[in-house]
A = this chain, B = another copy of it.
Amino acid sequence: MREKETRITIYDVAEKAGVSKSTVSRYLGGRFHELSPKTREKIKRVIDELQYRPNNLARGLKGNRSYLIGALVADITNPYTTAILRGAEDVCKQHGYSLLICNSDNHPSKEREYISMLQSHKIDGLLIQTTGGNQHFLRDLSENGRKPIVLVDRKIPELPFDTVGIDNRQATIQAVSYLLQQNYRRIAFFTEPVAGVSPRRERFAAFQEALRMADPEHPSLTDAFEVDLANDSQLDSLLETFLTRTGRETKAILAANSVVALKIIIKLKEKGIRIPDDLGFLSFDNPDWAAAVFSGISTIEQPTYQIGKTVAELILKRMSDPQAAIQTISYQTQLIERASTPRV
């Protein structure tokens, strides 16, 4: 017994305005110079009255475009990620696009499922922080689907895609040099499992490189740890290892991202270890809690919002010019000094 559904179509507008669908379509397409002022005015009025909204599905079917941009990220719950999405969204909105956001959860299989789903939706472009496990599918989407793909944060050199992120090597070297310069003798690097994730790999390698630059046999060359964040006791024992191993030497921890940093900090609190009295601390990313923990945690800030904007801009640009040269944009990071890394 449900009422009839009222869908207003271009036809309704045409009829009420006393013109043909084509004419209305011209209006919708913004081709005003092809219309007489009179009809243009009339159509405008009718659209308002009827509250008509063009159907994107129909538009997309015809033009093979959806006005949708996919955003496939590892974890929407990570503040780093949301800042990027915010930037991307603002740009997209300005250009009439919406964002289809999906979480791969760092699982290649989930990522693959979503790629497939996004393909079904005929997304016009894809922003992806990839697990690295679906190169074949991405290549296919790009080549056969002819959809612009832009990688954020994580690179895949073999793939011919625009990429936006930071210079992880440089940022890490800057971080380590800074800690060294602040006179910390031992430095531990904590990261999530490096696996195939490029920023992690690059930061890990650069950590050792920076140490070697200072001293080819630097004792902390063995102080790089990969932690599984789901495994609480592992982090505990790794931390313990570092602390006992280094005895009374001056020491600091460099966390590869803010999630790792927070886990470690909570553990330190539990253990009664104080920052910076007992231990220096520096973290990648610049989460908003950094100023609130201990007397402030020093961080390496990425221009996340800007990164998101740039990604979206690259997608849009490549949509209009598929042949444009492929580029990798690396933003500079900024070291924000707070109380966690005093000179010792």
Contacts and interface: CB of A to CB of B under 8 A. Distances in A.
Contact of A121 (B68, B103, B296): B68
A215 interface: no
A240 to B, nearest CB: 19
B68 A77 contact: no
Task: Give the interface residue-count category, chain A.
Answer: 35 or more
A103 B122 contact: no
A11 B338 CA distance: 63
B5 A146 contact: yes
A144 interface: yes
A64 to B, nearest CB: 7
Interface in A292-306: 292-293, 295-296
A222 B317 CA distance: 55
Contacts of A76: 76, 82, 85-86, 89
A265 interface: yes
Interface string A114-149: 101111111000000000000000001000101000
B77 A83 contact: yes
Contacts of A266: 291-292
Given A144-B6, A288-B262, A98 B121 contact: yes
A60 interface: yes
A53 B98 contact: no
A56 B296 CA distance: 49
A180 interface: no
Interface string A43-66: 000000001011111101100101
A61 B55 contact: yes
A55 B292 contact: no
A141 B151 CA distance: 36
A230 to B, nearest CB: 14
A99 interface: yes
A31 B202 CA distance: 50
Interface of A: 2, 5-7, 51, 53-58, 60-61, 64, 66-68, 76-77, 79, 82-83, 85-86, 89, 93, 96, 98-103, 113-114, 116-122, 140, 144, 146, 262, 265-266, 269, 287-289, 291-293, 295-296, 322
7 contacts: A55-B120, A56-B120, A57-B66, A89-B101, A93-B114, A99-B100, A269-B292
